[in-house]
């Protein structure tokens, strides 16, 4: 049986990939857990004894009050069609690249 070249071998279970997957799952779990704390005041009280006090502030209360900024992606999505329309309108005005179709020095057309 011939050995598959290194380039074509499928990705193995490397420690870096495993660590990256664990970190990703941990971050997703933390985000879902904090969203559950924000949605359920009784669950929040289980973890914070002073959750009912008005001065209490944590990630769950910030998320519950809607004071957390999200990524700017929703602001970019409506701008994409506008950018594309502007680029299509301005495309004829852009300078066109000129190709040099002459043969370089020392080259000639092939003999027939």
Give me the mean pLDDT over the 36-61 stretch: 84
Give residue 29's pLDDT band: very low, low, confident or very high (50, 70, 90).
Answer: very high
- Residue at 52 is within a domain: yes
In a domain, 112, yes or no: no
Residue 26: is its pLDDT beyond 80?
yes
3: Cβ–Cβ under 8 A, 6 or more apart, which residues? Answer: none
Q: What is the pLDDT of residue 8?
A: 45
Q: Is residue 91 part of a domain?
A: no
Of 42, 28, 100, nearest to 51 by C-alpha is 42
Total count of domains within the chain = 1
Whether 59 and 34 have beta carbons less than 8 Å apart is answered as yes
78 belongs to a structural domain: no
Within a 10 A sphere around the Cβ of 60, how many other Cβ atoms?
A: 23
Which positions ≥6 away from 47 have C-beta within 8 Å?
Answer: 37
Q: Is residue 28 part of a domain?
A: yes
Domain that holds residue 33: 15-69
Whether 38 is covered by a domain: the verdict is yes
For residue 70, the model assigns a pLDDT of: 60
């Amino acid at each position: 049986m011939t050995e598959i070249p290194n380039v074509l071998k499928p990705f193995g279970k490397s420690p870096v990939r495993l660590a990256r997957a664990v970190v990703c799952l941990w971050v997703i779990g933390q985000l879902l857990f904090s969203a559950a704390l924000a949605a359920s005041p009784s669950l929040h009280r289980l973890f914070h004894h002073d959750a009912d006090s008005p001065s209490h502030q944590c990630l769950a209360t910030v998320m519950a009050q809607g004071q957390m900024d999200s990524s700017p992606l929703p602001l970019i999505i409506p701008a994409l069609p506008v950018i594309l329309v502007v680029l299509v309108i301005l495309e004829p005005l852009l300078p066109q690249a000129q190709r040099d179709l002459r043969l370089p020095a020392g080259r000639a057309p092939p003999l027939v």
